[in-house]
């Protein structure tokens, strides 16, 4: 049973967003005990040179300004750590993910916190969590050669240890919206908590 669920939405659309509707249905279907909500329509900052400098300064050596620069990133990492299940609603914009979701990824992929380097290569530190992607696209078929969103998300999430990723897609909505929504909703109905 899902105890704590992190629910992330990245569509720029507040209303009328298919990915938001799908992610909401997934959360309802899973009925977690606690939901942590992160709406990326509220823009996150881009990483900057001072942020990178703070990130690569050992924690014990950071000054107050550097700690302030990393505070949001620390919160986002804490949200990931607290969650048993992560639901990410994302549209496909121009064949890939929205910039808001990329900003979130940049803020949570942190050496020593969500991954580490070993003699065998990088190792994710967030293993044992379930991820469900609620993906919507107007014309891009999920899994096709022009879908640069879902392959990237699987890769980067796996990089931080989140390798149990399930995709629920309502794709090619402009071709047959009704069929795409029926298929996605059937997958949601079949989800086990």
CB 161 within 8 A of CB 168: no
DSSP 3-state of 64: helix
- Binding residues, by number, are 11, 17-19
CA gap 176, 190 in Å, rounded: 22
- Binding residues for FMN, by number, are 11, 17-19
Residue 70, C-beta contacts closer than 8 angstroms, at least 6 positions apart: 51, 54, 55, 62
Q: What are the structural domain ranges in the chain? A: 4-189
CA gap 76, 181 in Å, rounded: 31
Q: What is the pLDDT of residues 172-192, one digit of tens each?
A: 999 999 999 999 999 999 998
Please compute the mean of the pLDDT values over residues 128-152 and round it to a whole number: 97
Query: Over 70: is that where the pLDDT of 155 sits?
Result: yes
- Nearest CA-CA partner of 84 in 22, 134, 31: 31
CB 89 within 8 A of CB 12: no
Please compute the mean of the pLDDT values over residues 87-110 and round it to a whole number: 98
Q: What is the pLDDT of residues 22-53, one digit of tens each?
A: 999 999 999 999 999 999 999 899 999 999 99
CATH class of 4-189: alpha beta
Query: Over 80: is that where the pLDDT of 2 sits?
Result: no
């Amino acid at each position: 049973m899902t105890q704590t669920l992190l629910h992330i939405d990245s569509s720029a659309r507040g209303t009328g967003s298919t990915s938001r509707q799908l992610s909401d249905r997934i959360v309802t279907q899973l009925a977690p005990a606690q939901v942590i909500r992160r709406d990326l329509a509220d823009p996150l900052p881009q990483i900057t040179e001072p942020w990178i400098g703070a990130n690569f300064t050992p924690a014990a050596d950071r000054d107050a300004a550097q700690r302030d620069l990393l505070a949001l990133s620390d919160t986002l990492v804490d949200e990931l750590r607290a969650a048993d299940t992560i639901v990410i609603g994302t549209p496909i914009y121009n064949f890939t993910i929205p910039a808001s979701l990329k900003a979130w990824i940049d803020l949570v992929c942190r050496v020593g916190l969500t991954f580490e380097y070993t003699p065998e290569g990088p190792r994710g530190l967030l293993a044992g969590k379930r991820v469900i992607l609620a993906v919507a696209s107007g014309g891009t078929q999920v899994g096709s050669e022009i879908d640069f969103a879902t392959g990237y998300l699987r890769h980067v999430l796996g990089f931080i240890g989140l390798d149990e990723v399930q995709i629920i897609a309502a794709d090619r909505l402009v071709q047959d919206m009704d069929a795409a929504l029926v298929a996605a909703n059937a997958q949601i109905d079949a989800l086990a908590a």
